[in-house]
Amino acid sequence: MEKEAKSQICVSRSFAVAPMMDWTDRHCRYLHRLLSRQTLLYTEMVTAPALVRGGAVHLLDFSPEEHPVALQLGGSDPEELAQAARLGEEAGYDEINLNCGCPSDRVQSGTFGAVLMRDPGLVAECVAAMRAAVSVEVTVKCRIGVDDQTPEEVLPEFLSRVGAAGCERFTIHARKAWLQGLSPKENRDIPPLDYELVQRMRGMFGGLHLSVNGGITSLDEAERFLEAGLDGVMVGRAAYHDPTAILAQADRRIFGAEGDSDPVEVARQMLPYIERHLSEGGKLGQVTRHMLGLFAGKPGARAWRRILSEGAHKPGAGPELVQEALGAVTGVAA
C-alpha cells in the first residue's frame, strides 16, 4: 500500500495544484480530484504550532478519494515540525511539504514561510528532523529569494544545503517575496518572474526534482515547461478560478492516461458528496464556493455562478440548487 502510494506520487509530482489558504480545502480538493485522477493536490498550509501545541488535528481531515495529496506545513522549529509531520503521516498524507514561500504577516503564529529563505541552515535542520520522523517524502516549496537577496546566489545555496539534508523535491515559485511593504496578494504578482533562473537550477542540480510555479495559466504553458526539461509544474490561481481548463485534460495531456473529464459529469458527481457533507452538519456554500469556476468561459457560466452564489447560503439550500444551476448550463432541467 505504502509502495503503491509512493509510485503514484512519482507519477503525479509532474503536475500539481498549489497549496492555497482558504481555497484548497478538502472540498476544493475533492472537486479537483474528480477533474483529474493524477494531478498532485496540496492542502492549505497548516502551521505546526496549531497541530502540535493547539491540538487542532481536525485540520488534517480529508477524504480518501483525494489521494495523492500532500500536507503543507508552516513552521520553523525542527522538533515541532517533526511532530507535525508525524501527525500528517498518521493521518494518511502522501507527502509532507514545508512552506518556505509564503510571505505572511501573522507574526504571532511564529516564523514560517518565505522568511526562511534567509536561513537555509535552519530549513535543512527542519527537513532533516521531518525526514527522520516520517517515511513519506518531505518536500519544500520556496521562492527564488526575498527582499534584497540576490537570487542567483541565494537559490543555489538554498537548494544545495536543503538538498544535502535529504530534500529531493522542490517547488520554486519563480519570484522573490518582498517582505517589507507588499501584501501577500501583491507578493504573488509584483516581484518579477524569473523562469530562466529556475531552468538554470534544473541544469545545476541533476539529482533534484524541480517544479516551477508562478504565473502559469494554461495547460499549454505547463506542457512547454515540461518539454523544456523542468520536472514538474505547479499551478495555483488559474487552477482555482478555471479548474476545468487546467485539470479536465491533465490526465491525458500531462500523464498520458486515457480520457478527459466532463465538468457536467463532475458537477453531478459532487451531488452525493454534498449530501454527505450536509448530513454531517456542513453547509452547501462551503462546497459550492469552489465550484463557481467549473464552467468558466462556457455558455451558461454566468447563470451557474449566480444561481449558486445567490442560493447556497439560503436556509435549507441543498443539492437541488446545484441541479438547478446545472440546468442553466446544459439547457435542460437536470
Ligand X SMILES: Cc1cc2nc3c(=O)[nH]c(=O)nc-3n(C[C@H](O)[C@H](O)[C@H](O)COP(=O)(O)O)c2cc1C
Q: Which of 154, 216, 270, 322 binds ligand X (CB under 6 A)?
A: 216
Q: Which of 103, 163, 191, 236 binds ligand X (CB under 6 A)?
A: 236
Stretch that binds ligand X, among 6-14, 126-134, 213-221, 289-297 (CB under 6 A): 213-221
List own/partner pairs for 263-270 with CB under 8 A and 24 or more apart: 263/35, 263/294, 263/295, 263/298, 264/326, 264/329, 264/330, 266/31, 266/34, 266/35, 266/294, 267/291, 267/294, 267/322, 267/326, 267/329, 268/326, 268/334, 269/34, 270/30, 270/31, 270/34, 270/322
Residues 6+ apart with CB under 8 A from 179: 103, 114, 115, 146, 147
Residue number, 188 or 202, with CB nearest to ligand X: 188
Q: Which of 39, 72, 76, 288 binds ligand X (CB under 6 A)?
A: 72
Q: Which of 26, 37, 173, 289 binds ligand X (CB under 6 A)?
A: 173
Q: Which of 28, 100, 102, 167 is catalytic?
A: 102
Q: Return the bridge partners of 15, or none.
A: 233
Site string for ligand X, 2-41 (x = CB under 6 A): ----------------xxxxxx------------------
Contact between 241 and ligand X by CB under 6 A: the answer reads no
Secondary element (H or E) of residue 258: none
Q: Which of 68, 101, 145, 263 binds ligand X (CB under 6 A)?
A: 101
Residue number, 144 or 322, with CB nearest to ligand X: 144
Residue number, 35 or 216, with CB nearest to ligand X: 216
Sign of the dihedral through C-alpha 86, 87, 91, 96: negative
Q: Residue 68: is the preceding peptide bond cis (ω within 30°)?
A: yes
Stretch that binds ligand X, among 49-57, 155-163, 234-242, 319-327 (CB under 6 A): 234-242
For residues 107-146, which are near ligand X according to CB under 6 A?
141
Residue number, 178 or 329, with CB nearest to ligand X: 178
Q: Return the bridge partners of 16, or none.
A: 40, 234
Known active-site residue 102:
yes
Minimum CB separation of residue 287 from ligand X in Å reads 18
Q: Which of 86, 237, 241, 252 binds ligand X (CB under 6 A)?
A: 237
Sign of the dihedral through C-alpha 113, 116, 120, 126: negative
C-beta of residue 207 within 8 angstroms of C-beta of residue 131: no
> Alpha-carbon distance 238 to 190, whole Å?
17
Helices (H), 114-204: 120-133, 151-164, 195-204
Residue number, 99 or 261, with CB nearest to ligand X: 99
Contact between 73 and ligand X by CB under 6 A: the answer reads no
Residue number, 132 or 228, with CB nearest to ligand X: 228
Residues 6+ apart with CB under 8 A from 183: 105
> Alpha-carbon distance 166 to 160, whole Å?
10
For residues 304-323, which are near ligand X according to CB under 6 A?
none
Query: Nearest residue by C-beta to ligand X?
Result: 236
Contact between 215 and ligand X by CB under 6 A: the answer reads yes
Contact between 45 and ligand X by CB under 6 A: the answer reads yes
> Alpha-carbon distance 319 to 317, whole Å?
7
Binding site for ligand X (CB under 6 A): 18-23, 44-45, 72, 99, 101-102, 141, 173, 188, 213-216, 235-238
Which residues form the catalytic set?
A: 102
